[in-house]
Amino acid sequence: MNAASLRLAGKRALITGAARGIGAAIALKLAEDGADVAITYEKSAGKAEALVAELRALGRKAVAIQADAASSEAAMAAVEQTVADLGGLDILVNNAGVLFAGDFSEQPLEQIDLQLNVNVRGVFLITQAALKHIPNGGRIISIGSNAGLSVPFAGIAVYAATKSALESFTRGLARELGPREITVNLVRPGPIDTDMNPADGALALAILPSLSIARYGQAREVAEAVTFLAGPGAAYVTGSGILVDGGISA
């Protein structure tokens, strides 16, 4: 494939929480489409370095950055290292997230705080840091959830609330950044086969009957939606979102 056919050739992307699962699939797809890629991770150093090796094998610049997604200092440092190592930043993908399922009346404060701090506060922090560098025409894409629009089953009230917050944040920031033609969008996965929600996990039996397409999605299918929003064909799409949920929200 020649450089002219790569939609994201010359672009620099930062993806949070991307050592595995959906984040890793996004990193690979962006790199396949020509982007240089930085990823953050918290604990999975081995998987992060293995992914970086895959990205470099595609001929891309790539770097893995250890960062706590809820830390303002780590957010700023991750952005600055991305800019230093890749030469700039054009695309931010807010992928890092945590989910604790269970009865809200018994959910520990530590679990509530962690979901709020990573899924909401962390997105705010790194987006603010990234906007010091993202040029006009850049892209901000957050990984929301179908649960941010409607909650298909019990036990995820706090998680759903955090993803709902990203809906308003996306629309508000799209208004703010429109004059710079920086687009701000969401991708809303439904049940995707990952470590967080495996297709053979405890939730699967409850989820499968609600799907129009009776299977869990694959991380690569989410990555395809992200790459579309990151590309030139989505220059007029902002303040919006794509459901990748097998019809569970239909």
Q: Which residues pair with 217 in a beta bridge?
A: 192
**pLDDT at residue number 205:** 83
Q: Do the Cβ atoms of 244 and 217 come closer than 8 Å? A: yes
Place of tokens 């800019």: 83
Measure the CA–CA gap between 82 and 14, rounded to whole angstroms.
7
**pLDDT at residue number 203:** 79
Of 41, 159, 216, 236, the active-site residue reads 159
41 is an active site residue: no
Kindly report the number of other CB atoms within 10 A of residue 136's CB atom. Answer: 9
Structure confidence by residue, pLDDT tens digits, 95-140? 999 999 999 999 999 999 999 999 999 999 999 999 999 999 999 9
**pLDDT at residue number 196:** 79
**What's at 198, amino acid-wise?**
P
- Domains of the chain with CATH codes: 3-99+117-147+167-197+219-241 (3.40.50.720)
Three-class secondary structure of residue 13 per DSSP: strand
Global confidence as pTM = 0.95
Strand ranges inside the chain, DSSP E: 12-15, 36-41, 62-66, 91-94, 139-143, 183-189, 240-244
**pLDDT at residue number 211:** 94
- pLDDT tens series, the chain, 250 aa: 555 478 999 999 999 999 999 999 999 999 999 999 999 999 999 999 999 999 999 999 999 999 999 999 999 999 999 999 999 999 999 999 999 999 999 999 999 999 999 999 999 999 999 999 999 999 999 999 999 999 988 999 999 999 999 999 999 999 999 999 999 999 999 999 998 788 988 778 888 999 999 999 999 999 999 999 999 999 999 999 999 999 999 9
Q: What sign for the dihedral angle of Cα 177, 41, 156, 209? A: positive
Q: Do the Cβ atoms of 64 and 118 come closer than 8 Å? A: no
The DSSP-derived string for 194-229 is SSSS-TTSTTHHHHGGG-SS-S-B-HHHHHHHHHHH
Q: What is the Cα 189 distance to its own chain's centre?
A: 10
